[in-house]
Structure 1
Amino acid sequence: MEVAKILHMVGGVGETSYALNSTLQKKAMHIAKPIVQQSISQLYCKLQPTESLTIADLGCSCGPTTFITISEIMDEIYEVCHRLSCQVPELTFFLNDLPGNDFNSIFKYLPTYDKMVKKEKGSKYAPYYVVGVPGSFYGRLLPEESIHFVHSSYSLHWLSQVPRGLEDDSGAPVNRGNIYIDDTSPPAVIKSYVAQFKQDFSTFLSLRSKEIVSGGQMVITSLGRSDVDPLGGEVNCLYGLLAKALNSLVSEGVVDKEKVDAFDLPLYAPAIEEVKELVQNEGSFEFYQAKVFELNWDPFDDQMDDFVADSFVSGENAMKTIRAVMEPMLANHFGGAVMDALFSRYAMNVAEHLKKEKTKYVNFTVALTKRG
């Protein structure tokens, strides 16, 4: 699986699109907002007076979440400048994602967004520029020491590739029947996922340290887990239910067993302890702030207790969130014809699980400063 070629959210504005099914990601951004604001404010106060600021949003995706990031940063800069009675700097936003991302929808919406900004800001309006940067953030993206602030939300749990070591000496898959870390996964599978994340995250930090100015800041929000043991990850359960749906289609002859055995997700949800250790070991950044928080699988369920009002509705809502993210990758491997059946089964599996246990997403937001 060539991750950089096939990993992207469902584009457009259709029923299964990311644009219409990214409420979970919006909630995570809302919770992370105070950290983003504080980081931007401190950065600007340190740099001002300055005529321009350059911001990169890595893993920008498409739809409303892309412009939430731009708006939050712009609003905070305007607020700080008003408070300090200084001129608003010009802002440049580099929007990065993999080449398959629906960049067209972003730039089609940009004129409408620009009109809205000018109307809201009025006399305070200052020019800003939006640039698309397709490519993997596990490679260099931007010129050396050109960025003041990096933002990334719900992106860094994606790996650069499916981990090596998920096949035996004969080339046969060893994580059979699973698509991610599971209780039945051999120890070698868990070791491979951990090793791949360590390599990828360290690479990410090293590359960003070259692109960010000294004293520049970076805020990352990602899926994670509460347990230091990779087997205790909350998303393990979520993707175990997806594997269960795939295996039910195998039992009915709709999907080949070999297809399921050969599919593993290029994803890893780390514990915050792993992230802190890697930041310390890589050495380019220091922690400024960290926050761990939970969100319900059903993005429309705002009650953080252990009661699910309607597990069927919550199962459908949770499924739509995952489908908007996973369908392009799954369709590439299993074929588009089985997607409706697969996600229908998946919604039922999630509903049955939520009747027994209201498992939640664990997320973290970290703010980092590049060492001088």
Structure 2
Amino acid sequence: MDVTQVLRMNGGDGDYSYSNNSLLQRKVISMTKPIIEEALTKLYCAMNFPKTLVMADLGCSSGPNTLLVASEIIKSIDKIRLELGHDKPPEIQLYLNDLPNNDFNTIFHSVSTLQKIITNPSCYFCGVPGSFYTRLFLNKSIYFVHSSYSLMWLSQVPEMAISNKRNIYMSKTSPPSVIRAYYEQFQRDFSTFLKCRAEEMVSGGRMVLTLLGRQSDDPCSKECCYIWDLLAETLNDMVVEGLIDEEKLDSFNIPQYTPSHNEINNEVKKDGSFIVDHLEVSEVKWDACTGYNHNLSEKDTQGYNMGKCMRAVAEPLVLNHFGESVVEEVFTRYTNVIKNRMSIEDTKLVNVTVSMTRKG
């Protein structure tokens, strides 16, 4: 699997689009707003109230969350400026980055709407397609970097010496070598990310990253692996029924790693280019993705919307590997499994947010 070509959220504004099924991710962005605002306040003051600010949102995807991040950053800068008694707002260049197959058209159509509602007329937006595990910007040009729910995605599926049989991610039944392969791939990728950003950011620049993660030291803990275990359960049932080939399942692995806060902290210290200012672990329940549906009870709506949320995220991967003929059946079954578990369990995800400063 070439992750750079396959990994994307469902585009457009259809029933299974990321745009219409990302309420949970929106909730997480809102939860981190105070951390972002604190980082921007310190940046603005430390830079002696700069006349221009160049910023980047990495892994921006498409839809309302992209506009939410952009508008919150711009509003925060405006609020800070006014509180400090500065009349003229700085010019802001905001780069919106994601992989080349991201739905940038939806973003560009939405930018005109955003420009009408922000108070700073000197804001400029630019799409930057490419992997954030490579260089994206000029040396020492970026003042602030934001990323939410993107950096847990790996640059590639880890290379495994033996098959992760009947699993699609790290699991209690995964061989130790598979768990090690995932962790080592995360280390390589996160180290590369930090090196690239260190070259691109100005001295004193700030970065706020939020990843799906875990509190436990166990990389296979339920808090970070359960949602993928349920998809694996669905796919295994379809193998038993002859709807999916077993070898096809055994060669399918999710290119993701959900790190602990200690693992993130260790990688930042190992790189040495940044100072960790704030490191926070939070939780968000699966039902944060719940919207209103006239045709479903509140109980059913919870599982139905989480199923659609996961379809918006995972469908391109499933489609690429298993083919179009089974996609509808996979996600119908997967949604039913999610509904069942949400009705009897306290289901939640763990987030790790780190705010850091580029050393001088």
The whole-number CA distance in structure 2 between the counterparts of 1:265 and 1:195 is 15
* Shift in Å, 1:311: 5.1
Give the count of matched residue pairs: 354
* Shift in Å, 1:34: 0.4
2:11 is matched with: 11
The change in CA–CA distance for 1:350 and 1:279 in structure 2 (over 3 A counts) is same
2:307 is matched with: 319
1:106 maps to 2:101: no
8 A contact 1:289–1:367 mirrored in 2 = yes
8 A contact 1:58–1:137 mirrored in 2 = yes
SS of the residue corresponding to residue 301 of structure 2 reads helix
The whole-number CA distance in structure 2 between the counterparts of 1:241 and 1:248 is 11
Task: Point out where structure 2 has 5 or more consecutive residues left out of the alignment.
Answer: 292-296
* Shift in Å, 1:212: 0.5
Matches within 5 A, 1:80-91: 80-86=80-86, 87-91=88-92
Q: RMSD value over aligned CA atoms?
A: 1.4
1:206 is matched with: 195
SS of the residue corresponding to residue 293 of structure 1 reads strand
8 A contact 1:159–1:267 mirrored in 2 = yes
SS of the residue corresponding to residue 235 of structure 1 reads helix
The whole-number CA distance in structure 2 between the counterparts of 1:107 and 1:48 is 32
2:247 is matched with: 258
* Shift in Å, 1:250: 1.3
The change in CA–CA distance for 1:214 and 1:163 in structure 2 (over 3 A counts) is same
SS of the residue corresponding to residue 230 of structure 1 reads coil
The whole-number CA distance in structure 2 between the counterparts of 1:113 and 1:92 is 14
The whole-number CA distance in structure 1 between the counterparts of 2:138 and 2:251 is 38
1:53 is matched with: 53
1:305 is matched with: none
The whole-number CA distance in structure 1 between the counterparts of 2:126 and 2:37 is 22
Percent identical across equivalent pairs?
A: 45
For each residue in 1:265-290, what CA deviation from the matched residue of structure 2 results, as whole angstroms up to 9, or x when unmatched? Answer: 10000111110111111111111112
* Shift in Å, 1:215: 0.5
For each residue in 1:234-286, what CA deviation from the matched residue of structure 2 results, as whole angstroms up to 9, or x when unmatched? Answer: 23111010011111111222211111100001000011111011111111111
The whole-number CA distance in structure 2 between the counterparts of 1:259 and 1:97 is 28
* Shift in Å, 1:88: 0.7
The whole-number CA distance in structure 1 between the counterparts of 2:39 and 2:144 is 9
8 A contact 1:41–1:77 mirrored in 2 = yes
8 A contact 2:290–2:301 mirrored in 1 = no
The whole-number CA distance in structure 2 between the counterparts of 1:111 and 1:53 is 20
The whole-number CA distance in structure 1 between the counterparts of 2:331 and 2:14 is 16
1:370 maps to 2:358: yes
2:214 is matched with: 225
Indicate which of 170, 178, 181 corresponds to 1:192. 181
The whole-number CA distance in structure 1 between the counterparts of 2:221 and 2:241 is 31
1:22 is matched with: 22
* Shift in Å, 1:233: 4.4
Judge which range, 59-68 or 334-343, deviates more: 334-343
SS of the residue corresponding to residue 71 of structure 1 reads helix
Judge which range, 227-236 or 29-38, deviates more: 227-236
Indicate which of 336, 346, 349 corresponds to 2:334. 346
SS of the residue corresponding to residue 231 of structure 1 reads coil
The whole-number CA distance in structure 1 between the counterparts of 2:68 and 2:52 is 20
8 A contact 2:290–2:306 mirrored in 1 = no
The whole-number CA distance in structure 2 between the counterparts of 1:105 and 1:128 is 19
SS of the residue corresponding to residue 32 of structure 2 reads helix
SS of the residue corresponding to residue 173 of structure 2 reads coil
- Give the letter for the 1:185 counterpart: S
The change in CA–CA distance for 1:301 and 1:323 in structure 2 (over 3 A counts) is closer
Task: Point out where structure 1 has 5 or more consecutive residues left out of the alignment.
Answer: 169-173, 303-308
8 A contact 1:57–1:95 mirrored in 2 = yes
The whole-number CA distance in structure 2 between the counterparts of 1:155 and 1:113 is 23
